[in-house]
Every structure is written in structure tokens, then in C-alpha cells.
Amino acid sequence: MKNRLKNLLLALTAVVAFTACKDDEGLDSTATPVVKYIRYTDPAQSDVYLTSASMGELIAIIGSGLEGVCSVRFNDVEAKLNPTYITANSVLVNVPGTLPTEITNTITLTTRKGRTCVVENFVSKAPAPVIGSVSCEWAKPGDAVVIRGNYFFSKADGSDPELTIGGLPVAIDSYTNTELSAVIPAGLDTSVRQRIALANDNGTGRSMFYLYDRSNIFIDFEDLSWDWWGRSSGDIFTDRGIDGSYMFLNGTSAAWNWNEDLSLFYCNINEDGSVNTQLLPEGDDVSDYSLKFEIRSDAWVDGYMAMWFTGEYNTFSIDGDEAQCHWRGYEQGLPSGEWTTVTIPLTEFCYDKEETTTSRTLKSSDMKSFCIFFFGSLSDDANSGAALQVAVDNFRLVKKQ
């Protein structure tokens, strides 16, 4: 029988890794595997037989004598298997995301007893490049950036994929399948939002996000008309900025220390209870959104950056009932002295002050004012008194892509 899929460039993992044959139930079977057909795992498409699949796609291999299968190779690339997804009549598997060294357009199933079945004429397709993020969404012309995603493959002739930013061609300095380095091109208009595109033989991938996107920004330190507390205009700078004015928080690390130099309380609600700007559209699901901002860490080795939203007027307390996010940028590989874009899903707003609970829930109705406070216990007492210097800009709420 012909089960099909050609080029085999498949990718991604979705299940628990299981690449080596091992002594689990069913693996002592002496049956020779037989493949009848391959289909989607969605029951609604169970009558659609596949002759090809894309990297990362989860497929169902249907047949008999499959209980002993411990290895599935697409071309010459081993797939990751989950024993839970292997039965006598089916094997669920993700097409590997690694390019094969030799394209045979085959799937080879092998049991622990050495029985094999080869499915011929099955094409593994590489999808178009997927652009997931860039190191800084406000990088200026001439700045180096790192673009991350997947399927950044060379062309068939060995040449590099084609990168453009805002329609301008960009030379790629280096790249892997999931990451590339380049420089923002001279002449790029940063006054309007711009997209990133990457093209190879498999198609063109475009970023769902935009560079220089000013929509949904609620704090940019340009307009200081909103009511704030704990800071002064002397903390606003433009030198070494990324997009005009930014706030610089400058203090020292200390365990559970109240330090106004390391805090920002943005009051977006008036004394009469009216709201200046609704931070999220009424009725929107909080879990669909992320908080984004730019940060430059000049010195930060301990403690956490507590962030929370509140619906109270000019009332801010780390001891409150709000759902907090505790972000430790220094543990995330935050580069020192460089502006970086940070993306935090709003579902990560779930802590209390001491992280004794992770079950607090953020409600859109409470998202009227915003607080930042560098706080918490220190992981090392030796870090007490260490410099903590952080610049922040362009706080915004964006829908997940």
C-alpha cells in the first residue's frame, strides 16, 4: 500500500520524548507492523488520508501489529514517541522538525524485535518560516537584533533565506533553524509600524507583531498628565533611550525593603472613580493578552520586579489582594545595558507577595491602574546593597498571536 509524504522536512515536539526502544508494555510483541493508511488526528477529518504532512504536525499512523513499535523515522530523522500514544492499531507522532540529510520520502517503523515496515511516497513538507519574536521591537537603524522563530531554512541551492524589514532587504549575519542575527537597515522609517518577513523555498513568513507599534501603549513617559506617585520628572531621561523618554529606576537590592526609588505607581483612575483610559476592552478575556514593555538592565542581580494592576484610586500596596507577576529578568538572560522587549502573558499575574499562592486571578475590571515595585527576598544575602538600575519604557497590552 502506498502511504505518502514526499520531501520530509518535518518538525516540532508535542509529546513526551521517547526515542529509544525500551521494555514497556507491548514492546515485546513479535508482530510485524503493517500500515494501512495515515490520517489527521482530528476525528472530523478521519476520512482524509494523508500523502504528506508538515513539520511539527501531529498525524495518526493506522494499521496492525503496531504495539511493538519503538522507532519511527521520517526519511533519516528519528521522531520523538510517547508510549502512551502507541497501540496495536495506531501510532500518534509529530513529524520531526529537523531537515533530513537524505530525502527518501519514506516513513520507517521498527519494533523492539527488529520487525520493520516502510511506508513509501510520503512527503514531509517544510512550512514557511515562522517569526515569533525579535530581541527589541524599538531597535533603531544600525542596531543589531536577534529574530527568533522556526523553519529558518536555507534555499535548495544553499543560499540564505531572504530577510526584509519594512520592505527593505536586510543582510543576515548568521542563522540557525530557529534564530537569526541581523542589523536594522539604514533608512527604515521608524515613525510608522513595520513588519519583518523571511522567505525561502517553502514560502514567506511574516511577523504577526510590528516594530514601532504605538497602539495599546498606556505608559510611554512622554505624556505625564496622568496621576502618578512615588516618582518625579527628574527620573525621566531621553539619553540612551529607545523611543524618546523613559523612566530610570535607581536603587539598591535589599530583602523585603520598601524603596520608592525602585517603584512606579501609575494611577489611571480619578478620585471620583472615573477611568481615564480603559486598559482592556470591556468583556475581553484577560488570558488572551500579554503585557509588553522595553527594559534596559544596567545592574540587577537579585530580587523580583513585582507588577500588578488595581482598580483602586491612588491606593497601592504590595500586601494587597491583587494578582501579582514576579519577573526576574536577570534569570531570563536579560543582556546588560541593552534595550530588550519583554513579553509576559497576563496569566502569569497569579502570585501574592511571598509567592505562597499561585492561584490569584487577574480580572479585566481591576485593570485600571498599574504598579511596579522591585521587592522580595534575596536569593543571596551577599546581594544586599547591590546596585539595581533599570530603565523601562512603552508599557502596552497586546493580544496573543
pLDDT at 281: 84
In CATH, 217-399 is 1.10.10.10: no
pLDDT at 26: 60
pLDDT at 152: 96
Phi, psi (degrees; rounded to nearest 5) at 164: -135, 145
Phi, psi (degrees; rounded to nearest 5) at 257: -100, 135
d(CA 174, CA 143) in angstroms, rounded, equals 15
Output the nine-digit C-alpha cell for 137: 521591537
In CATH, 34-125 is 3.20.20.70: no
Q: Is the dihedral of CA 159, 195, 148, 10 positive or negative?
A: negative
pLDDT at 27: 56
For residue 362, give the nearest of 374, 351, 375, 372 by alpha carbon: 351
Q: Which residues of the chain have pLDDT under 70?
A: 1-27, 225-233
- The answer to whether 203 touches 128, Cβ cutoff 8 Å, is yes
Domain ranges of the chain: 34-125, 130-206, 217-399
d(CA 358, CA 344) in angstroms, rounded, equals 16
34-125 and 130-206: identical CATH topology: yes
For residues 11, 12, 15, 19, the Cα torsion angle rounded to the nearest 10 degrees is: 50
User: Which amino acid is present at 107?
Assistant: I
pLDDT at 3: 35
How many other C-beta atoms can be found within 10 angstroms of the C-beta atom of residue 142?
10
Terminal Cα distance for the chain, rounded: 40
User: Which amino acid is present at 73?
Assistant: R
DSSP string across 158-227: SPPPEEEETTEEE-EEEE-SSEEEEEPPTT--TTS-B-EEEEETTEEEE-SS-BT--TTEEE-SS---SE
- As its CATH architecture, domain 130-206 has Sandwich (2.60)
